[in-house]
Amino acid sequence: MSDQATQAPVKAQSPQAPVKAQSPLSEAWDMFKHNHAAMLGLVLLVIIILGAVFGPYLYPGEPFEMVWAPFTPPGTDGYLLGTDYLGRDLLAQIIHGSRVTLIIGLSAAIVTVVIGVTIGALAGFYRGMVEEALMRFTEFFQVLPTLLFSMVIVALFGASLPMITLAIGIVSWTAVARITRSEFLRIRELEYVMASRASGASNAKLMFKVILPNALPPIIVQSALMVGSAILFEAGLSFLGLTDPNVISWGQIIGSNRQYILESSFTVTIPGLAIFITVLAISLVGDGLNDALNPKLRKR
């Protein structure tokens, strides 16, 4: 029944209005548009990103400068979000910190996707010994205690921004690898892959031009969610004081104020709320993407 609706009523003989060539992508956007929660997430995310990009110019406060009495509550003396334990402007910290937080989230997700997709694609496409070896390798990383392992990396190689990003990426690529592999295993058996083979396509073309684009939807969803979890991860590392104290991020604000959580809880809750809203927005967008890109839910 349902597939009847997907069949455009076009016919060589009947002079009907031509159907618009709607690409799978624009169709997915149509689906996404109608998902209110996902749109809310997208709007939030756009606001956060705009704030990170233009905020420092619009609100030229210095995040590391002590400007007022410590623990000034939000809204008093002209400081919208108050000041922290050293009397630094929390709003300036949040705005400046958002850049680092988002950059770490995004680049850690990119590291995750690059490693995960490469390994998953090779394992899913070649099967046999290659698959065995790569999947054992993946399982090895999967059973490592992630926080501990990233702490070791940071402790050994220093707490610079790229190293933190890399550490988060290295401990979290396994999920992407498994998803990519299972998609490759499924798609490589479909007839259009064999049709491409019959048309003379090389292995590289089959992998990257035929299978990968069709495997993307769940990978995109997973990497969107990965941005959120990378932000949380960075917050965790910062909280433990394992990140660069000279670079301000939301997690770092929480980490540095953690001793005063009982007396002046706002210094911790405000950056915490910022993380919460951002990760929530990313999750909403991720879920929306999942619905929009999942062909089984389409056209209901």
Binding site for another protein (CB under 8 A): 1, 4-14, 18-19, 21-24, 132, 190-192, 194-202, 205, 210, 213-214, 295, 299-300
Kindly tell me which of 65 and 132 has the beta carbon lying closer to another protein.
132
> Closest approach of Cβ 30 to another protein, in Å?
11
> Closest approach of Cβ 175 to another protein, in Å?
24
Compute the half-sphere exposure of residue 258: CA atoms within 13 Å on the CB side of its CA.
12
Q: How far apart (Å, rounded) are the C-alpha atoms in residues 181 and 81?
A: 46
Cβ burial of 138 (10 Å; 0-12, 13-18, 19+) is buried
> Closest approach of Cβ 214 to another protein, in Å?
6
What's phi and psi for 295, nearest 5 deg?
A: -60, -25
Kindly tell me which of 18 and 78 has the beta carbon lying closer to another protein.
18
Kindly tell me which of 182 and 269 has the beta carbon lying closer to another protein.
182
> Closest approach of Cβ 43 to another protein, in Å?
25
Kindly tell me which of 182 and 196 has the beta carbon lying closer to another protein.
196
> Closest approach of Cβ 13 to another protein, in Å?
6
Kindly tell me which of 170 and 292 has the beta carbon lying closer to another protein.
292
Kindly tell me which of 76 and 202 has the beta carbon lying closer to another protein.
202
> Closest approach of Cβ 182 to another protein, in Å?
17
> Closest approach of Cβ 114 to another protein, in Å?
21
Kindly tell me which of 58 and 296 has the beta carbon lying closer to another protein.
296
